[in-house]
């Protein structure tokens, strides 16, 4: 069972992101740590007391952009990614004026996000050298 919280513990979020994005996926650190964390809302997913995943939300007008969603390899398949995404959607739904959620999904995750109500939009694009597709969901 995943527990997700809003957090100011950016160091733990960065550690998780470094493990998954930089370590596993070879994303360059300067692309992963992009200078926008100070303006974001951060989420942490826990398996018991252990942080196993993170995500962040950036808000631009009426749109909330979910990004940097990751779960440690050994914790995948236990619902933490869905819990993080649903927590992000719930947080956005509670904010006045946010009416749409967007994210850039790695191609292997398109079906995962589709099951959570997101719809593919636009063409495939590269982010940190990894193919992605924009996805959108009305709140």
For the 2-138 domain, the top CATH level (class) is alpha beta
Low-confidence residues in the chain, pLDDT < 50: none
Task: Report CA torsion sign: 91, 93, 95, 99.
Answer: positive
**Alpha carbon distance 12, 10 (integer Å):** 5
3-state secondary structure of 75: helix
**Alpha carbon distance 57, 38 (integer Å):** 11
- φ, ψ for residue 2, nearest 5 deg: -95, 135
DSSP code, position 97: T
Q: What is the pLDDT of residue 2?
A: 86
pTM for the structure as a whole? 0.95
Residues found in the chain: 139
- Asked if residue 103 lies in contact with residue 66, where contact means CB atoms within 8 angstroms, the answer is yes
pLDDT tens-digit profile of 11-23?
999 999 999 999 9
DSSP code, position 35: S
Query: What is the spatial order of strands in the sheet that 130-138 belongs to?
Result: 2-7, 41-47, 50-60, 63-71, 100-106, 130-138, 119-127
- Asked if residue 124 lies in contact with residue 133, where contact means CB atoms within 8 angstroms, the answer is yes
């Amino acid at each position: 069972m995943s527990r997700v919280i809003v957090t100011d513990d950016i160091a733990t979020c960065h550690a998780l992101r470094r493990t998954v994005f930089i370590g596993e996926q070879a994303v360059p650190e300067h692309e992963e740590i992009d200078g926008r964390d100070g303006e974001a809302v951060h989420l942490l997913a826990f398996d018991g007391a252990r942080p196993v995943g993170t995500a962040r939300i950036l808000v631009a007008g009426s749109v909330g952009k979910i990004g940097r969603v990751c779960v440690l390899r050994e914790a995948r398949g236990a619902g933490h990614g869905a819990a993080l995404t649903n927590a992000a959607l719930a947080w956005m739904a509670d904010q006045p004026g946010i009416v749409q959620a967007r994210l850039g999904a790695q191609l292997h995750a398109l079906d995962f996000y589709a099951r959570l109500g997101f719809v593919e939009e636009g063409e495939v694009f590269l982010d940190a050298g990894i193919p992605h597709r924009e996805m959108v969901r009305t709140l």
